[in-house]
Amino acid sequence: MTRNRKLIAALSAALLSVAVAVSATASADTTPTAAATATHYTGTLPDGTTWIADVPADWHGPLVLYSHGFGHLTAQNAPNPTTAQALLTRGYALVGSSYDPNGSLWALSNAVDDQFASLAAIEKIIGTPTMTLALGTSMGGLVSALEAQQSDGRLDGVMSTCGLVGGGINLTNYQLDGEYALNQLLAPEQAVKLVNYAQANEAATAATQLSTLATDAQATAAGRARVALASALMNMPTWSDGQTDPPTSDDTAGLAQAQYEWLIGTLPFTMPARFSVEQAAGGNGSWNVGVNYASLIAKSPYRTIVEELYREAGLDLSADLKNLTQHAAVRADTDAVDWLTDTSVPTGNLDVPVLNMHGIYDQLNPVEYENQYAGTVRRAGDSALLRQAYVARRGHCTFTASEIIAGLEAVVHRVNTGGWDAETTTQSLQAAATALNLADNPAFVDFRPGTFVNDRRHKPAHSGS
């Protein structure tokens, strides 16, 4: 999987022949330490995408191509300043783009091309790296997973962190399942708009409606049980920021409380984000017509929480699941599904080694994605190229600099030796992160994610167009 350097140099020259506004004059970073060790570059691609790069003075050849997450279209070349400085100190050059600023925040239409063009732009200035690794966060983790399939010699390895590796269709479908359950079970007479948003404020209004329903429902045992069902369908994690310690496996009330807190905290983000996905796809790419909700819960890693709360409330879980299945009526737009399939769904056909790192209490990108993605890669015949690692921390993409560097170094080892060996075991990653002496408390942990029950790899039998 090593790169053909002559080919890459030729490709870089060809790409840069049409690039515009590349800054050939270096500018220093603003922090004193970075100013002494790194040179800053900026540029603009033909589609208006901006890119930035930082190159350490003692650069010895490796480069990280960083893909940022959803929510902004500004150039970023590292997850945060602390990680950027730690990477620069260790000799990595950094480059990353804004993605096309004229598009949707769901930037998958051009993100991969923009990233590779930005890589070519900085290579034109500083030369071809000895090793190029892609790193991505959240939506950028999906971008990196797609880059791993489209490397064509431009990358040596990839690390996806908290990545949306389940793909854009699964993303909007799992969210739809939970949101629909809240509406149908708590207030079926209240028509909450779940899809086909004409503008973002419609989605924000719907999020407020559902959050209010879930909060009011906490006052009764029946309401808490039904919120737990919706939370399970949305794969909400079981340790919230409001809890000092993670609830034990037999603390049903604590586990359900954590899921409820994450649920009402995420709806104001996830529902308006759907507007951006629909805007990019040209319509609604999610559906629940034909979904058997009893089958979903039967496979859910959170099933026992739901069952216990239903027993305590004296509710009939089977009846509620039958209710959900019978009234599911959301149909997808065929063209939107096709667009998402083409741009936003990994195939698992890997060109280079990939390490995925995921937090086990991530409220926006379920850790169960990793179970689904491993299956996708296995069916593509590339399991030998994939490794997955887990961190015991709450929240979305809350990795420390030492965890990210330890992961990247494990990918470097795989590229250099042709084998993962023991470098990606929990113990090895934890030891490597601790040895960096960054004092940021790395927390790698042995973990096996449960089933991602909302996996819908195939196009819906029924569509709205």
pLDDT in tens, 353-380: 999 999 999 999 999 999 999 999 999 9
Question: How many Å from the N-terminal Cα to the C-terminal Cα in the chain?
Answer: 42
Residue 254 lies in a domain: yes
Q: What is the pLDDT of residue 460?
A: 65
Spatial contact of 145 and 365, defined as CB atoms under 8 Å apart: no
**In this structure, is residue 35 part of a structural domain?**
yes
- Position 58 confidence tier, pLDDT thresholds 50, 70, 90: confident
Give the tens place of pLDDT for each residue, 423-462: 999 999 999 999 999 999 999 999 999 999 999 966 665 5
Domain interval for residue 414: 5-166+347-435
> Is there a domain that residue 453 lies in?
no
Distance CA 214, CA 463 (A): 30
| pLDDT computed for residue 459 by the predictor | 66
Last residue in a domain, options 340, 371, 393: 340
Q: How many CB atoms lie within 10 A of CB 24?
A: 8
Q: What is the rounded distance in angstroms from the CA atom of residue 114 to the CA atom of residue 129?
A: 18
Question: Average pLDDT in the 69-92 region?
Answer: 96
What pLDDT digit, counting tens, does each position of 140-179 carry? Answer: 999 999 999 999 999 999 999 999 999 999 999 999 999 9
Q: Give the pLDDT band of residue 465 (cuts 50, 70, 90).
A: very low
116 phi and psi angles, rounded to 5 deg: -65, -35
CATH number (domain holding residue 399): 3.40.50.1820
- Asked, for residue 445, whether it belongs to a domain, the answer is no
* Domains in the chain, number: 2
Spatial distance between the Cα atoms of 145 and 350, rounded to a whole number of angstroms: 8
Position 20 confidence tier, pLDDT thresholds 50, 70, 90? very low
**Is residue 459 one of the residues assigned to a domain?**
no
Within a domain: 440 = no
**C-alpha span between 175 and 84 (Å, rounded):** 32
The pLDDT of residue 25: 32
Q: How far apart are CA 330 and CA 346, in angstroms?
A: 24
Whether residue 400 is found in the same domain as residue 317: no
pLDDT for residue 12 is more than 50: no
Kindly report the average pLDDT of the chain as a whole number: 92
Q: Are residues 226 and 300 in the same domain?
A: yes
Q: Please report whether residue 278 resides in a domain.
A: yes
**What are the tens digits of pLDDT across the range 303-313?**
999 999 999 99
Contacts with 439 (C-beta within 8 Å, 6 or more apart), sequence order: none
Q: Residue 167 has what pLDDT? A: 97
Give the model's confidence band at 463: pLDDT under 50 very low, under 70 low, under 90 confident, else very high.
low
Mean pLDDT, residues 242-259: 97
Asked if residue 14 has pLDDT above 60, the reply is: no
- Amino acid (one-letter) located at 299: K
In a domain, 141, yes or no: yes
The Cα 270–Cα 278 span in angstroms is 12
Q: What is the predicted pLDDT for the residue at 63?
A: 98
Dist CA 353 CA 332 (whole Å):
34
pLDDT at residue number 28: 29
Q: Quick one: pLDDT at residue 31?
A: 37
* The domain boundary residue, chosen from 292, 312, 340: 340
